[in-house]
Structure 1
């Protein structure tokens, strides 16, 4: 019964927030009165509240630009968590563009959708990301290329850093900064989640979004830690594979630290 009440209240909050934010975002995109990330950030905050997520932040998004944020990826909720903390834009897999409501809202936030397995489109997509980096947008890249179970960080794909090289070659600057970010879901109802229970937060593979959303809404009260690391300078002479491994190690280290000593809920 409590779960049903939580779901009803959460949906009411989501609907009300969406009804308010969408027209204002459309107006902002047309008039340029507000940065395109301002209204989506408010929407992300409302979704975080609806889901009952308690976000604990270590560090902050760097002010250096051009900036690519390289994060691990556990669930679709990573997007609303990061989006609630900073003015960022996302690089997402192409199939999300066709998702009901979420795909449309992602377009309003000017998400870049990428076909990661199609070489023909990789160049144009990297070019769009490079252009966005050059204009000062902080672009979030989930560098594993898939979602994990919340226990370990999967290998980062060096090819996904190609946009950083292209941004430099197209004159965005002599360097692109890559900031490591680790996301860890650590507690459920104030109790630390062990290896066995962390996949509760994870959204893996072909799992349907609807049932996972309902489960999270009914359960609520989950703590998530976000750790911002020190930016890594990437230049024309940098090696993509070496940079990917370096950033991956930093993200993995921050995630292990969060899981080993989860911050207690407030």
Structure 2
């Protein structure tokens, strides 16, 4: 994975909030918290039954996750537009990474399991949700690469749709960084490659009118709390567009580097051309 992406200038934070701002924070945040953590409790209870019966398979609880994530955009007032649809059959998913909102945008329309850096497991709120929903946590350690590939293969063989962020870091959402090819190696396993597809997905965030174009971007050393507060307090909201590109079959598409390059090109094609700016890693 790459180092955390940085930029020279950050968008403004929430600033000093007035009474109306705090009203919006409560009006949006309270129902959102009830839905997220209420359904999290229900999910954990159902896992007590689902786990011993189905093992790795999760036929019920992902639907709770999808309900929570689609409801989040309604409660926040962010319009979610979907172009295309998730591919059927055994598949992995790769996407650009722009915000913590990606988790909700990608889970709302498909039952996926994220692959995330290990430190996310310890984040308050997000870490709890990630563990409960079956996220695969990995360390940035080459010594663990073989074990990680074996874990990915086991989950993919269990029909889990693993979702990777091959950029290895989040950005401001207005560009796509070069994809790291290392994690694509797991897709080339002899037991997988003939039946596995990789679906590229592009996330396009559009800021509320009159705000910084990177309003929803969350990257570098930005704190989660102020970023969430800014979104909750916003007088107007923008939108997110989720673009499902045609799936790329693993068989016949070369090695991990050519697979990564093709998926990167597909994801990049979903961004408006005027958004692409020189990447700074």
TM-score, reference length from structure 2: 0.82
Quote the offset at 1:79 in angstroms.
0.8
Q: Which segments of structure 1 move beyond 3 Å, counting only runs of 4 or more?
A: 257-260
Aligned residues: 250
Structure 1 stretch displaced more, 7-16 or 56-65: 7-16
1:2 aligned to which of 20, 25, 28: 20
Q: Are the aligned partners of 1:181 and 1:228 in contact in 2 as well (CA < 8 Å)?
A: yes
> Which structure 2 residues correspond to residues 173-212 of structure 1 after superposition, within 5 A?
174-189=194-209, 197-212=212-227
2:106 equivalent to 1:82: yes
Bigger strand share: 1
From 168, 174, 196, the equivalent of 1:151 is 174
Correspondence list, 1:68-147, <5 A: 68-115=92-139, 117-147=140-170
SS in structure 1 at match of 2:239: strand
Contact 1:69 1:141 in 2 (8 A): yes
Alpha-carbon distance in structure 1 between the residues aligned to 2:114 and 2:204: 19
State the partner residue of 1:12. 30
Counterpart selection for 2:238 from 222, 227, 245: 222
Alignment RMSD, CA only?
2.1
Secondary structure of the structure 1 residue equivalent to 2:271:
helix
CA deviation after TM superposition for structure 1 residue 122, in Å: 2.1
5+ long unaligned stretches in structure 1:
261-266
| Displacement of 1:183 | 0.4
**Under a length normalisation based on structure 1, what TM-score does the superposition of the two structures give?**
0.87
